[in-house]
Structure 1
Amino acid sequence: MSILAASGTAWAQSVQRVQTRIIERAVSRNLDTVFRPKLVINSGATGPVTALALSHDERHLVTGVGNNTLRVWDLWVGREIARLSGHTARITNVAISRDGRRAISVDADRSVKVWNLGALGEVSSLGTHPSPVTGMALAGNDSGVFIASSDGRIRATALQDGKVQWDVPAHAPGVVKLVVAADGRRLVSAGADGAVRVWDAATGKATVEIAWDSPVQSLALSADDKRIAAGNNRGEIALWSMDGTRMATVESKADRILSIAFVGDGGSLVAGGADGSVVQLSPGGESPRVLGKHDAPVSYMVVSADSSFALSASEDGTSRLWSLRGGTHLLTLVSTETGWAVIDAKGRYDGNQQALNGIDWQADSGVANIEDFAETHYQPALLPRTLQNGEIAAAADIPAGVSFPPSVRFLSPASAGGAEARSIVVEVVAEDKGGGVSEVRLYRNGKLLPRDIGQVERQDVDGRAQVKARYQLDLSQGGNVLSATAINNERLESRPQTLTLAEGPRPPGRLHLLTVGVNRYKETRLNLEYARPDARAIRETMGAELQSSHTVAEVVTLEDEKATKESILAALRQFRAVPSDDVVVVYMAGHGVSVGDDWYFISHETLIPRDQRQLSGHALSSAELKAEMEALSADRTLLLLDTCHSGTAVSPLKDYRGMKALRLLARSVGTHVLAATDRQQYAVELEALGHGIFTYTVLSALGGNGDINRDGTVSVTELINFVEGAVPPLSKKYADYAQYPTGYSRGSDFQVSRIVPGK
């Protein structure tokens, strides 16, 4: 071999090694670029969904969950509205009366309870059934309940007085399932003995006898009462006419069939299996269509009246909504110990903060809380928007894979510990993990620091972006906890890195209060009755030295003609000089308008155009509010908004969409937001109370009713929890619908009221 050839070979090998290293780095970069997670409930899980019923008007869904509570969902509003307690064992069956006013539930201890779905409470108990209950159905006229038990008997009981109307031995001992015909005159039962029987609902006499060679696990009737379907533990479903004539046997792709439901008059069925599968089947022999799969057995299936949707309940702790037209999984409904969430197949979500804090996207390569995707995937009113085929913003498919957020760490201070100086230098570095670095955020005691106090340096390290942020930071008195996050180009936020510089109680600080109330508008048709009195009541309550938890430093009041956009912004800018140890509270009452996912406060001079998209640049926007709240140096801030839409027939979907901007404001800035933005009246303003319901409830909380832990003070968290729980039943009592305020907290909890004995 010549020297030239040898050197050429060496050069080629050198190039190959370099290329190999480049490829290895690219592969390595590729591996940590994509995050393909699975949804996991990490805290607050309630266990399996053990029972499910859909109201006849398809507005309310009632589920039994593993902590022995019933959960009531309003599908039109798109949220869980009540947690009903009273059972002490696993809830095995639930049914809703045809008029939608009552629900009846049974538990494993054989306790039978009746619930008022209007008042959302227990009405009565029908006592304890003699044997374990395996099936339950309501009479067609809602006058009674049929209960099947493991001893093979069926009992009919009157709801009004609890008297037994008839009681018959229907099957051999074992599981017995029940369903009532739509005409209310007939009852169908099926048992572990393989028998299927039709009964006269009034007398308890059997009119049709059917024998099957397999124990029955599930039972259904078609909407026209012409077909009976029964599922067994071999994955088979048998069909008969109501007179007992065998029509077909359908083989499913599911394991043991635990639940079935007809689609309409019986053109097809949906079935849930012990293996978690949900399938749609045709009696005509077509191949089963697999809609999807739960992670555990499917215990209940129901189908909408128009055959568009199916709902399933599973031992995996979720209820799921399926499109029967598209054959796809649409939504997952989750109830936790203290909250609720709705998540679609792409990962878009809605829910309350208590539930969402415990729900993660988890993979071997990392974990992200569901709220880390808030900017792109949070969708208020996701449930009704899905049911009504409403507009939902496009978003990346999280389970299919998304780019990782940047990593973030503190360069200085390098470790936790006491800081000797009041002013320190803080350096944070964020490194690209495949999705780029769009933004670095630094929080002091939960509050985002103003962007203008940081210096940002961007550089490229080994082909990846690296961002260093340097802050000259004044520390607060008492405890100081710093946390840093970084955002990638897809707006996915990293998990926070936290550094505790000092521990100890914070000083009370001084209160800076801004109240805005607009009764009189330049556009007189917008005039209100209670906005100004509500603002004054808040000022008098929170600004009173005796009741305030803080020394009152200043109170700024803007009413009617003085409450212009520029004057509100000027007042907020005045608060920029407030030191970090002080407290800022902003209360605004008047009209609010949602335009898409944006929200606007209508100040006195603002005219509402026919095309409300033209409000941009004229009305006070949530983006402008966010900028001003972010610019505050004070660590402890609270924004209270009591607003309504100017229209009188606005869709709830539009009302709640505007909540996205306010919720993101709270999350990104690190403040507390409590808002009522509603339709029709001024957030339900009522002469009987002298205030709008929202502010009436806030005042009630500040007066002492919000002191949940009975320590003599009311904190922001207590205030939000009390108002969120108290407003819906109060508004339902005084108005024709329930109002649901939105609360969100990110930042230090702090006291907002001190309870004065005798007041």
Structure 2
Amino acid sequence: MSSPSYHQGHALLVGVSTYQHISSLPTAILNDVKDIAATLSSADYCGYAQDNVVSLLNADATRQTVLAGLGALAARAGEDDTVCVYFSGHGAVLPSAGGDDSALLTVDSDLADLAGTAISSADLAAALGQIQAKRVLVFIDSCHAGGAVLSKGLTDGQGHEFKSGYSPSAFAKLAVGTGRALMASCRADEESGVFTGARNSIFTTALLAGLKGAAEKDNSGVIKVFDLFEYVAEEVPKAVSDDQHPVFKADNLEQNFPIALSRGGRKSLTSTSTPSMPVDADRWRQLEQCLVELFPTGPREQELWTRAGGDLSKLQLYGSGQAMWHSAMRTLKQGGGGKNINFGSLIAVAKEDFPNHQLLTSL
């Protein structure tokens, strides 16, 4: 019997450490791309077809070839496919009238002419917009701390200087569209760490572990998008004393969709976990209304969220209690909010406080 495969998976992986006109970055960047390519195309891990995983490194990663690679993705990926785009290298923040914009710097990028030699967020968003796949995930590992002073600024010694990194507005722009999501290595005011002598960057070390199975939560045999980000978001700060926090952006993403096989699609024979049953939209809405009524100040009231196995640090706790509950329930529905919380555990803990509540019992 043939091994399971994730034939619908497609990937374009770009890594630049040695630039023509800009100072170099750590060689770990090239290892990042090579190791992600090997993991995605491995029958023992993600199960992508090797022909569907394209890598562009250093001299091969020009502005023209990267845009051509994105065009090739659009040509071969269908609506029901999954597309991953990964970039590791320099990013530059570009001041503009509408707020800071950003650009990914390819090997031939010239600070004297970034408009013509780099890939702006508008260029990248337009290229991603041509991809018909309903599941598109973009990874950006930029603003590398391993580049010493380069992590704070880019200069060519000829008077052209730009802030290094990628702006929040550019992150948001790349996540626009149904089924689109972006995962970045750090916040705009942080640095993406690379330990001296390490094979991979801190972000990609966690990403690789997640793709190799650590991010699988329900013994389903697949890695899902929200589970992967939650795993990476928890692991990266541990490695750098809470100095680096990955960013996740999604504009219209309701489902925790699969992006790859986990451990070649093999399900653990010893696992006692069972996949959670799907919950329809009406039940989510009813539970939210119930929690707003019973715990009007929000998820922190009576330590409800924590007692249900959740992590308050994963929530946006501002605004009215109703607003906090709406945000928290959306996060939970997407698979976030903590490793051990789910629809059932939240109801169970709420019933401890209100054992005779009719709606809680019916849910």
Partner of residue 70 from structure 2, selected from 569, 572, 582: 572
Q: CA 1:529–1:550 in 2, change beyond 3 Å: closer, same or farther?
A: closer
Q: Which amino acid in structure 1 is aligned with residue 244 of structure 2?
A: Q
Distance 2:24 2:190 in 1: 11
What's the counterpart of residue 407 of structure 1?
A: none
Q: Which residue of 2 aligns with 1:420?
A: none
1:700 to 200, 209, 219: 209
Equivalent residue number for residue 9 of structure 2: 511
**Paired letter, 2:258:** F
Note the 1:332-347 alignment, pairs <5 A.
none
Alpha-carbon distance between aligned partners in 2 of 1:518 and 1:589, rounded to the nearest angstrom? 6
Identity of aligned residues (%): 26
User: SS at the partner of 2:237?
Assistant: helix
Provide closer, same or farther for how the CA distance between residues 657 and 545 of structure 1 changes in structure 2, counting only shifts above 3 A. closer
Match of 1:634 in 2: 133
- Say if 2:210 and 2:231, in contact at 8 Å, map to a contact too: yes
Relative to structure 1, the CA distance from residue 668 to residue 617 in structure 2 (aligned partners, 3 Å threshold; closer, same or farther) is farther
The equivalent residue for 1:755 is 263
SS of 2:111's equivalent? coil
Task: Give the distance between the partners of 1:687 and 1:634, measured in 2 at CA.
Answer: 38
SS, match of residue 576 in structure 1: helix
Letter of the 1:752 partner, please give it.
A
Q: 1:721 to 1:516 in 2, by over 3 A?
A: same
Q: Does 1:528 align with 2:37?
A: no
Unaligned runs of at least 5 residues, structure 1: 1-506
- 1-structure distance, mates of 2:51, 2:61: 21
Partner of 1:716: 225
User: Hey, what's the Cα distance between the residues in 2 that align with 1:533 and 1:522?
Assistant: 20
Q: Give a deviation string over 1:242-293, Cα, whole Å, max 9, x none.
A: xxxxxxxxxxxxxxxxxxxxxxxxxxxxxxxxxxxxxxxxxxxxxxxxxxxx
Which residue is equivalent to 2:143? 644
2:174 maps to which residue? 665
SS at match of 1:525: coil
Q: CA deviation at 1:649?
A: 6.4
Q: Counterpart of 2:26 in 1: which secondary structure?
A: coil
Q: Find the counterpart in structure 1 of residue 244 from structure 2.
A: 739
SS, match of residue 617 in structure 1: helix
Rounded Cα–Cα distance in structure 2 between residues aligned with 1:602 and 1:574: 20
* Alpha carbons of structure 1 residues 680 and 603: separation in structure 2 relative to 1, 3 Å: farther
TM-score normalised by the chain length of structure 1: 0.30
Measure, in 2, the Cα distance between the counterparts of 1:660 and 1:680. Answer: 13
Once residues 21 and 188 of structure 2 are traced to their aligned partners in structure 1, the CA distance between those partners, rounded to angstroms, is 18
Instruction: Tell me how far 1:662 sits from its aligned partner.
Output: 1.7
CA radius of gyration, larger in: 1
Paired residues for 1:85-104 under 5 Å: none
Give 2:74's aligned amino acid: R
Q: TM-score, normalised by structure 2?
A: 0.60
Counterparts in 2 of 1:543-622, with a 5 A limit?
Answer: 543-577=41-75, 578-596=77-95, 597-609=100-112, 615-622=114-121
Contact 1:549 1:753 (C-alpha < 8 Å) held by counterparts? yes
Q: Superposition RMSD on alpha carbons, in Å?
A: 3.0
Q: 1:683 to 1:754 in 2, by over 3 A?
A: same
1:739 match: secondary structure: coil
Which letter does structure 2 place at the counterpart of 1:723? V
Per-residue deviation, residues 8-59 of structure 1 (Å, max 9, x unmatched)? xxxxxxxxxxxxxxxxxxxxxxxxxxxxxxxxxxxxxxxxxxxxxxxxxxxx
Q: Does the aligned pair in 2 maintain the 1:644–1:682 contact within 8 Å?
A: yes
How many angstroms apart in 2 are the aligned matches of 1:566 and 1:510?
Answer: 26
What does residue range 244-323 of structure 1 map to in structure 2 within 5 Å?
Answer: none
- The structure-2 alpha-carbon separation of the partners of 1:677 and 1:602, relative to structure 1 and needing over 3 Å to count, comes to farther
Deviation at 1:534, TM superposition (A): 0.4
1:685 and 2:194 correspond: yes
> Residue type matched to 2:124 in 1?
L
Give the number of aligned pairs. 243
1:753 shift after superposition: 3.3
Give ranges in structure 2 of 5+ residues lacking alignment: 154-162, 269-363
Distance in structure 1 (CA, Å) of the matches to 2:102 and 2:168? 7
Structure holding more strand per residue: 1
Q: Which has the higher contact order (CA 8 A, sep 6+)?
A: 2
Q: Residue 545 of structure 1 aligns to a residue in which SS?
A: coil
The residue matched to 1:580 in structure 2 has which SS? coil
Deviation at 1:727, TM superposition (A): 1.1
AA at the equivalent of 1:754: S
Residue-by-residue CA offset, 1:599-628 (whole Å, 9 max, x unaligned):
21111011234xxxx523321111111111
Quick check: 1:545–1:552 contact (8 Å CA) kept in 2? Answer: no
Cα distance, 1:726 vs. partner? 1.6
C-alpha distance in 2 between matches for 1:561 and 1:670? 32
Cα offsets for 1:339-376 (capped at 9, x unmatched)? xxxxxxxxxxxxxxxxxxxxxxxxxxxxxxxxxxxxxx
- What amino acid maps onto 2:182 in structure 1? V
- Provide the rounded CA distance (Å) in 1 between the counterparts of 2:27 and 2:191: 8
What is the match of residue 726 of structure 1?
235
Report the Cα distance in structure 2 between the residues aligned to 1:633 and 1:545, rounded to whole angstroms. 26
Which amino acid is the alignment partner of residue 68 of structure 2?
A
1:116-155 per-position Cα deviation (integer Å, ceiling 9, x unaligned):
xxxxxxxxxxxxxxxxxxxxxxxxxxxxxxxxxxxxxxxx
Report the alpha carbon displacement of residue 687 of structure 1 after superposing the two structures with TM.
3.6
Q: CA deviation at 1:660?
A: 1.7
Show CA shifts across 1:678-732 (max 9, x none): 7899721114542100100100111221113343321111111111222122122
What does residue 290 of structure 2 align with? none
For 2:64 and 2:165, how far apart are their aligned partners in 1? Answer: 26
Task: Report the Cα distance in structure 2 between the residues aligned to 1:661 and 1:670, rounded to whole angstroms.
Answer: 17
